[in-house]
Chains A and B, each alone.
Chain A
């Protein structure tokens, strides 16, 4: 089944304790992205990746890191989480965003609800 998976789905942690949220897609998509969703603010892009070893900042990258060593995986890393990073996080992927093929539906993962105490 074609899908985007995220782990963990729920996480409660404490300030300063490094964590990683994994994201994996099995659709051979080039483009992957991380969003955070907060009430009244919609979906805000954290980081995105056009392809392997190519990543770039979105609108709210502070406090986050990503890597894209393989096409299928795009982990989100919080080196030193803080309470203002408590949010619902979504990973998404699409076939491509380049040129005529750029009009592609984004497929979202199930979400990870993170609470930082």
Chain B
């Protein structure tokens, strides 16, 4: 299985500041045939199901604010929130869909400082 490791496990950021969450996969999730990274980011607020934010590592899902961005390739990826808002308090998960043994990172809890 591809192991997804996120860092940090938790993060406290001031309102309006930048938040950065990292995700590392144990093997590359880049398909050379189409040059796509099979990596998604999800946001889960307390008591709610996960919500898709980013797919193909950097494509924002429809309706997701543009303060959310994804970057990276191969084995190292980053989710950035450019200016933290109160409603962004949540747990964030990365996921690989490079193979059908889909795996998620352990989650990063984002709080307001």
Q: Are A and B associated in one complex?
A: no
A residues neighboring B (CB under 8 Å): none
Binding site for A on B (CB under 8 A): none
